[in-house]
């Protein structure tokens, strides 16, 4: 489980596959129904972001542990154009395309931890975590 399971994003069908993978993993790890929905929804937003802006990428879901608690980690990686201004895309309502401008900030609100790294021309990596309560 440490390696996790990955979904390759190439089409809008893969967005559904990625969020189903996230939900199934969350369920297996003992997350409740509401957290399962939060995790699945966040992964849906992040996977769509990969599809819309990078074209292809991967979403990996794995179990993580810290002393006294267990959780789920989602790693989204792409080699797309990258994000020039992270502060701007993390702002509610900002959108460059078909989105409502709540993909990334929305996903951040649904998860407990959210880390985004991006380099223009090299790609974007987003790591987010949800801890089991």
Partner 1 sequence: MESLRIPILKIGDVLIASIQVALHDASAVQFKDDLLQRIYETKARGLIVDLTAVDVVDSFIGRLISDIASMAGLMGTRVVITGLQPAVAITLVELGLELPQVLTALNLEKGLAALRRQVEEGGDGAG
**Minimum distance from CB of 113 to partner 1 (Å)?**
15
- Per-residue x/- track, 25-44, partner 1 (CB under 8 A): --------xx-xxx-xx--x
**HSE on the CB side for 59, CA within 13 Å?**
33
Minimum CB distance to partner 1, residue 53 (Å): 14
Could you tell me the end-to-end alpha-carbon distance of the chain, in angstroms, rounded to an integer? 20
CB of 65 to partner 1, least distance (A): 25
Tokens found for residue 1: 């489980």
Should residue 130 be labelled a site residue for partner 1 when binding is judged by CB under 8 A? Answer: no
- CA dist 20 and 36 (Å) reads 10
Task: Establish if 23 lies at the interface with partner 1 (CB under 8 A).
Answer: yes
Long-range contacts of 22-25 (CB under 8 A, 24+ apart): 22/59, 22/61, 22/72, 22/74, 25/61, 25/62, 25/63, 25/72
By three-state DSSP, how is residue 88 classified? helix
110: contact with partner 1 by CB under 8 A: yes
Site for partner 1 in 66-95 (CB under 8 A): 92
Q: Which is nearer to partner 1, 104 or 116 (CB)?
A: 104
Query: Which residues form the interface with partner 1 (CB under 8 A)?
Result: 12-13, 15-16, 19-20, 23, 33-34, 36-38, 40-41, 44-45, 48, 92, 98-100, 102-103, 105-106, 109-110
């Amino acid at each position: 489980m440490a390696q996790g399971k990955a979904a390759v994003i190439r089409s809008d069908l893969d967005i559904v596959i990625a969020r189903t993978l996230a939900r199934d993993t969350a369920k297996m790890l003992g997350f409740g129904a509401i957290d399962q929905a939060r995790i699945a929804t966040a992964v849906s937003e992040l996977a769509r972001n990969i599809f819309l802006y990078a074209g292809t990428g991967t979403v990996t879901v794995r179990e993580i542990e810290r002393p006294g608690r267990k959780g789920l980690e989602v790693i989204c990686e792409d080699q797309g154009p990258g994000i020039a201004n992270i502060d701007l895309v993390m702002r509610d309502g900002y959108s460059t395309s078909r989105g409502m401008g709540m993909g990334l900030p929305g996903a951040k609100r649904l998860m407990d931890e959210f880390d985004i790294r991006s380099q223009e021309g090299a790609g974007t990596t987003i790591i987010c975590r949800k801890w089991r309560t």
